[in-house]
Structure formats: C-alpha cells, structure tokens
Structure 1
Amino acid sequence: MKILLTGGVGFIGLKVAAKLHSQGHSLVALDSLLEQVHQDIEVEKAQFPGEIVVGDVSDASAWELLEPAGAIIHLAAETGTAQSMYETDRYRRVNVEGTRLAAEYAVKWNASLISLSSRAVYGEGFKNRGTTESDPHRPLSVYGETKSEGERVVADVTGGKIAATIIRPQNVIGPGQALHNPYTGVLAAFLARLREGKNLSVYGDGTATRDFIHVEDVADFIVWVLDHAPAISESPRIFNLGSGERITLDQLAQFSIDAVPGGSASVIEHVDVKRAGDIDHALADMSFAYSLGAPHAQWSARESIADFIQKSWETPGAKSEAWDTALEELTERGLAE
C-alpha cells in the first residue's frame, strides 16, 4: 500500500517508515525539513526509504503536489510547550490547519487516517491514576489547545466518511530525537549537561511524574493501528499511548546519570522554576488499547533513558547554555518564574 507520512523525516517518522518499508509498503514523506527539528538534514533524508516532498503541512499548495495514498499517518507538528505560548500563530497554523488538510485529503483520497495528538490535551494529570481516553480536555498550553483543536478537526472532517484514529502519546524518547532544540525534551538538556560534566538541573522538587515511552514502542503501536483500522461507524477511535510506567523527574535524572558511558560524577540540583504549561503528573491508562490487542511497551523507562544517553553520547547537539538562554527568554516574557 502507498502510505503518506507527514513529518516522515522526523524523529518518530523515520522509525515508523523503517518498519513500514520492511513490510513492503510504498512510502512518501511530506516534511518541511526545518532546521529547528532536523540535526543533519541530508543524513536524515537519506534514511527515509521513499519519496520526499519538501513542504509545509499547513500549505495547501504542498498537498497539491502529492499523489493519492491509501493511508495518511499525520505526524508533523510543532511541539514546544513553552514556546507555543508566544509562537501562537505558528503553532495554530501547523497543528490545526495542517491537521485539517491531512483530514481533508484523507477523505478526498478515501484513505485511512492516523493522526498523532498529545497527552497535553489533558492538561494536569492525576497523582494516583492514569488518564483515560474519556477524561476531559483541560490543556494548559497553546500547544495542548492546538492538539485538542486538531482532534476536533479530525472528528468534524472525517466523521462517517473514512476510518480514522487519533493517538495521544506521552513523552516519546530515544536515539534520534532533536539535541539542538531547547524548547522540547528535558532529556536533551540532561545529555548536554552530562557531556559537559555539569550537574543536572531539575525544575521543582523532583517529585513531578511522567510517562516515558521509547520511540520504537511508539512506531510498533502506530503500525499496529494501521493494521487494525476502526470501522467508519466507530471513527475516529482514540488511543492513549504510553508505557504505563510512572517515574519522577528525580528518577529521570538519576537514570540519565547512571547511563553515562564510563560513569559520571554529576549530581541532581533542584531549581525553583515553574514554566507556563508545566504539569505535575502525567501517566497513560492503556487499558482500552490493550483490550483491543495493542502491543505492550517493550522498553522500561530506565532502558529507554539508557538507550538514548548511550546512543546519543557522540551525536552533535546544542551546548547546555542553549537551555539556559531559552529559560531566560521565557522569564523575560513572563512565562517562567
């Protein structure tokens, strides 16, 4: 089958593409190839096993360049929670209008649609349980709002017309994630500080919790969804996607220190910082997906973190000062205190 992946040359896209290519599918990527996202554009382009169309997912003229596909996997997005609070127009354009075009073309081509949303639609999670797909949307950031709006767009455009699935991933980690974008991913910040022999700065008291899932587990889940499209009458079907394992930010930092090749003398330092959009708890309740036979995560949090640290150790990335500068910028804008 011919499959279009928006954001196909990205962190998740390349992993999904590799698995689909091994199954014999014909692949096309629509990707803007922005430098903020891509560390080495030529290397990443060479890793995509198919045709690449360079274009903005929110630009209708880019979609006009594409030939019909049997399925669309919509991964392209702007993902910086704090950055979204002042880059509002860009985030709404890409995350809402880009999703609208993906949904409209899926209907036009009579293609199945898989659209990646985010756990950010839930806002603050729960300390004693995971969020379920039926929990209300209470986003705390523009990013979360745009993902929530994108879900409504998918439902409005595709309802009763095609098979559509919405996936809400938790924190996706693994080798290949951006190491030079200081607006996404605490692990990249930890990696930069560890490589410089610095201590790890954990915002708050370290008891906040997250659900980290390895990118390979995410790719396996997306491939499973493609093979188990819902009936049109049940679309869009919504799935949480996480490991179901809760760890604290202190554990995240310690697992990172423990994974340093050759060992590390770095220790954890707590910093009294609260950024706009930050939450205290996040955990996916995976009961619904598992009840339908979805694959369980194969990587534990510790294993996922070690895999990222060790395989990314020699990969060029931003210096730790980039995250310090980003925090200063947020503070100046009144988005951190």
Structure 2
Amino acid sequence: MKVLITGGAGFIGQHLAQSLVGAGHDVTALDILDSQVHQDPQDSAERFPGEVFLGDVADVGAWMSLPPHDAVVHLAAETGTAQSMYETEHYRRVNVEGTRMAAEAAVRWGAKIVLLSSRAVYGEGRVLSPGESLPAGVDGGADGTLVPSSEEDRHRPVSVYGETKSRAEHVLMETVAAKVPATIIRPQNVIGRGQALHNPYTGVLAAFLARLKDGLPLTLYGDGTQTRDFVHVEDVVALIEWSLENTEGALETPRVLNSGTGVRTTLKELALYAMEAAPNVNVPIEYLAVRRAGDIDHACADLRRLRALGAPLPRWQTKEAIADFIRSSWHERGAAPEAWDEALDELKARGLTE
C-alpha cells in the first residue's frame, strides 16, 4: 500500500512512517517543515523513510503536485491550544482547509483516509447527571463523578483549536461519505520520543522536561487536580494502522474512534511521575493562580467502542509512558524553560488569562 502522510516529518508522522515501512508499505510525506515544529527541518526530512514533498496542506497546488496514493493519513495541523486563541485565522486555514484538501485528494484518488482529530472537540469533560452512574471499570476521577468522553458526545470545544478540529471532522464527513472509507481518530494527550521539545506549545510534559534539566521548580496552572489522559505515540500509531487495514463500516459514514488509555492522571501526578523518571532530580512544585483561555479541567477517553470493534487497546501504562518520554528525551536539544514563560507572557499581554 502506498500511504501519504501529511505532516509526516513530525512527531507522530515519523513513528507511523517507520512502522508502515516495517510492515512493507511505501510512505510519502507532505510537510511544510515549519520551524516551530522542526528544530532542524533538514534533519526531519532526512529521517523520514520515504520521499518528502515540501508543501502547505491548505494549498491546492501542493496537492496537485502529488502522485495518487492508496491511502491518506492526515496528521498535519496547528495544535497549540493557547496559540490558537490569537492566531485564529491561521489555525482555521490550516486545520479546516487543509482537511478539505486532504479529503478531496482522497476522493480523487479513490484512497481510504484517516484523519487525526483531537479530544479538544469534546471541550470540558462531563460530570454525572443526577441518577446517572458510570459503567463498571470506567475511571470517574477522585470522586467518581467525571464521565469519560464518548465518540457519541456532542462537540463542545472551548478553544479555537478545538473548534477547528470539530469543523475539520464535519468537512471530512461531507466530502468523503459514501465515496471512500474514512476514519476519524480523536487522541487524548499524545506523548513519546520525538516530540518538538523546542516548541512551547508542545505540551506540559515538554515544559516539565526543560525545567527538570535546569533543576527548576515545576510550575502548574491551578491546583494540580486537573486530569488528563496521556497516550503513548506507539498506541496511537497502532490504532491508525488498524484503521487503514480494517475499513468495514467506514464507507457510508466515516467511523469515529477515541485514542487514549481511559485512565485519568492529575497534573500533580504527572509532575511527580516526571520527576521520578528524571536522573537525580528533586525539585519543588509551584502552583500558579493562572487560567489560560481555552484550558479545560478534565479529559479522559471512553474506550468501549474500541473494545466492541476489536481495535487495538493501549499497551503503555501512563507512568511507563511518561518515564519513557523523560528518559528518551533527556539528552535531546530543547527550548530553555524561559520559552514557556514567554508564551504565558504573550497570553497575558493579549488578555487571554484569568
């Protein structure tokens, strides 16, 4: 199978490409090699195990330069929740129009397509209604009242990023329904080797890594009780590959799947796990009374649909995945801790914090 991976030279794309090549497939990347994502764009391109086309996913000309493929995996996106609140038009162009271009190409080629969406489409995690109870084995948080997000839940994004991913899903559905098989995957917080450590919008774990390496306190916004579902990149890749191989029921209406562990981790636990994995580092945790626009308190994936379909469930436990990230990234080049402070200052200057 000949697979086009948009954003293929990036974090998830590199892992996916290596796995697909190992399974005997041919891979091509369409990537703009943005310096915010790629600290060394040339190195990123050289490490990709196939041909790399330099181009913008929202530019029809880039798509017209590509040969037909059997499958499209659309990973390319702008992903900074906070940054999306002030670079709104750019995020809408890349995330929505880029998806439209990918979907139209898939239809033109008769290719199956997988769209990597985001848990951000769900917005704030739901709490139990009066008289409602959680299914057995579902993680309801410390007090048992938090409801994991199901693929059937309504979209309630609270950030521009989440809104663009929601719109991208609708664009894909409208473009490809009953024409080519399509799957939409909504990952939770993806972690693993190869993240863009110099990018202050990569996520909290990269910020922790930078501060641990400099022996600085780990800073948390709020009281640290917020929860997230951290999924290892290898588990996301396994679900993408399964979706490419198993397309039954994905033609008439695009299939939607969550990707996560179904296990909640508080941000305080995340900080402690990261510190435990760091070599000979013990620093305090500082709590900042700051809330950024677009932030949510709770997120976790409901995996019942994956189980019902026989799709691959996560193999990595959260604590092990965090340790793998810290240890594999410890000697990698990354941003100075000040980069995250500067990103927060930018939000404050724009009135996007409370």
Give the equivalent residue in structure 1 for 2:249. 231
Q: Tell me which residue corresponds to 2:182.
A: 164
Q: Is contact 2:183-2:250 (8 Å) kept?
A: no
Cα distance, 1:162 vs. partner? 0.8
Partner of 2:265: 247
Corresponding residue for residue 277 of structure 2: 259
1:195 pairs with one of 213, 224, 229:
213
Q: Secondary structure at the residue paired with 2:81? A: coil
Q: How is 1:295-314 mapped onto 2 (pairs within 5 angstroms)?
A: 295-314=312-331
Change (3 A) 1:57 1:238: same
1:205 equivalent in structure 2: 223
Deviation of 1:184 (Å): 2.6
Distance in structure 2 (CA, Å) of the matches to 1:301 and 1:234: 35
State the one-letter code of the partner of 1:43.
Answer: D
Which whole-Å deviations, capped at 9, do the CAs of 1:40-60 have from their partners, x for residues lacking one? 222222221111000000010
SS of equivalent residue, structure 2 residue 333: coil
Q: Give the superposed CA RMSD.
A: 1.0
Which segments of 5 or more consecutive residues in structure 2 lack a partner in the other structure?
A: 127-144
Counterparts of 1:15 and 1:219, CA distance in 2: 7
1:230 touches 1:237 (CA, 8 Å); kept in 2? no
Q: Which residue of 1 aligns with 2:86?
A: 86
Q: CA deviation at 1:232?
A: 5.1
Give the alignment of 1:264-279 within 5 angstroms: 264-279=281-296
1:17-36 pair list within 5 angstroms: 17-36=17-36
Pick aligned residue for 1:217 from 229, 235, 248: 235
Contact 2:125 2:146 in 1 (8 A): no
- Count of paired positions: 336
CA distance in 1, matches of 2:59, 2:317: 39
> How far, CA to CA, are the matches of 1:76 and 1:2 in structure 2?
18
Partner of 1:8: 8
For residues 22-79 of structure 1, the C-alpha deviation after alignment (integer angstroms, 9 at most, x for no partner) is 1111111000000100122222222211110000000100001100001000000000
1:333 maps onto 2:350 in alignment: yes
Deviation (angstroms), 1:233: 4.5
Q: Write the letter of the residue equivalent to 1:63.
A: W
**Aligned with residue 336 of structure 2, among 294, 319, 324:** 319
Deviation at 1:235, TM superposition (A): 2.4
Give 2:153's aligned residue: 135
Q: Which residue identity lines up with residue 169 of structure 2 in the other structure?
A: E
Distance 2:237 2:39 in 1: 20
CA contact (8 A) 2:179 2:252 kept: no
Q: In the alignment, which residue of structure 2 is the partner of 1:76?
A: 76
Which one-letter code corresponds to 1:256 in the other structure?
A: A
One-letter amino acid of the structure 2 residue matched with residue 265 of structure 1: N
Amino acid at match of 1:310: R
**TM-score for both structures, normalised by structure 1:** 0.98
Q: Is 1:44 aligned to residue 61 of structure 2?
A: no
Worse-superposed segment, 127-136 or 83-92:
127-136
Quote the Cα distance in structure 1 between the aligned partners of 2:46 and 2:345. Answer: 36
Which letter maps to 1:291?
A: A
Q: C-alpha separation between the residues in 1 aligned to 2:252 and 2:179?
A: 11
Length-normalised TM-score, structure 2: 0.93
Matched residue SS, 1:155: helix
Contact (CA 8 Å) 1:164, 1:230: kept in 2 or not?
A: no
Aligned counterparts of 2:345 and 2:74: Cα–Cα separation in 1: 33
Aligned-pair identity in percent equals 58
Q: CA deviation at 1:230?
A: 3.2
Give unmatched runs, 5+ long, in structure 1.
none
Q: Which residue of 2 aligns with 1:59?
A: 59
